[in-house]
Structure 1
Amino acid sequence: MLIGIFFGTNTGNTETVVEILEKELKVNGFEVDVHDMSSASVDDMAKYDQFIIAVPTWNDGELQDDFDAVFGEFESFDFSGKKVAFVGLGDQDGYPDNFLDAIGILGKPVLKNGGSIFGYWPTDGYEFTTSAGLAENGKFFGLGIDQDNQEDQTEDRIKSWVAQIKGELGV
């Protein structure tokens, strides 16, 4: 099954996580195309029936630069028939009031504009105060990664999440 990954990064952490994710997806039978949003567009997402958006929350609950630059276009994109998953990066110790906000900022337009979200992730094992990244079901809109404080859990979380989405997509 073909799946696209669209990511943005300022520090390189998200790119590192995407490299681990890409490898794990391939091991689990996915064909993967990776797109860096510094050179990709929202229109590139139209080519995929299912795709993953990997994005860090920046500053106090803001989108990463590359996603911020295209947010207007993203907000009006027709997601009908698209299945979208999220991988959010955040710092739960340094920014407990904004942990993983970016995946919520991006997740809401997906749902509003006809798309569906897969890969919701439980909040167990994270310590934060509030998050715009929480969906109505009480889970994160996608996989939560904290490279600043829980880097030792990243690979295991990715493996568990890939197994989960593999089942959700029937691969």
Structure 2
Amino acid sequence: MIKKRFDDETMDAPVNINRVSAEQFCFYSHLILGTPTMGEGQLPGLGAACSEESWEEALDRFAEVDLTGKTVALFGLGDQVGYPMEFVDGLRDLYDFIVERGTTVVGAWPTTGYDFEASRAVNDEETHFVGLALDQDNQADQTAERLEAWLALIAPEFSLSL
């Protein structure tokens, strides 16, 4: 949905993280990274019973990368009804990883309009997620509107025109 909003000159095609080398990961000055949250708040990967490697293994592969000076926007997918205590928790793991490597993170998203009990992806003030939170299971009807608003929020930081 994100890529469809932009031409090939503005944005490259999305790539699954298990198909990206460290060199490719570090190539771009601006990144939009997304992840679902699995089970009890895990990033997807073999440890979360996924059939192939994903973010869990990528974080190990990219442990030594330096992302200083890069601008990153994050989005996460979760189920706030089925997993109200872990809603988009995986987003926090991804956030912590990229911040520790020197990135500037943009695109914090308000927690209003969601019905969950706890999320590690919420900031200290409990007013925003560290990135866009999407719930395709329970609020799919709000995804397009949230995505448009989030893209407008990050556009200036990415020098994008919408």
**Category of TM-score, reference length = shorter chain:** 0.7 to 0.9
Paired position in structure 1 for 2:100:
112
Between Structure 1 and Structure 2, which shows a larger proportion of helix residues? 1
CA distance in 1, matches of 2:20, 2:11: 19
Equivalent position to 2:85, from 82, 93, 97: 97
Q: Where does residue 69 of structure 2 map in the other structure? A: 81
CA distance in 1, matches of 2:31, 2:121: 18
Segments of 4+ in structure 1 off by > 4 A? none
Return the offset for 1:137: 5.0
The aligned residue for residue 33 of structure 2 is 53
The alpha-carbon deviation at position 40 of structure 1 amounts to 1.8
Query: How many residue pairs are counted as aligned between the two chains?
Result: 150
Trace 1:1-171 onto structure 2 (pairs within 5 A).
Answer: 20-24=1-5, 26=6, 30-65=10-45, 66-136=54-124, 138=126, 139-171=128-160
Contact 1:86 1:103 survives alignment (8 Å): yes
Is the 8 Å Cα contact of residues 110 and 129 (structure 2) preserved in structure 1? yes
CA distance in 2, matches of 1:124, 1:30: 31
Give percent identity, aligned residues only.
Answer: 33
Match of 1:46, as an amino acid?
A: C
**Partner in structure 2 of residue 15 of structure 1:** none
Structure 2 segments unaligned to the other structure (5+ residues): 46-53
SS of residue in 2 equivalent to 1:79? coil
TM-score w.r.t. the length of structure 1 is 0.80
Query: 1:42-69: per-residue Cα shift (whole Å, max 9, x none)?
Result: 4321110010111000010000120012
More strand by share: 1
RMSD: 1.8
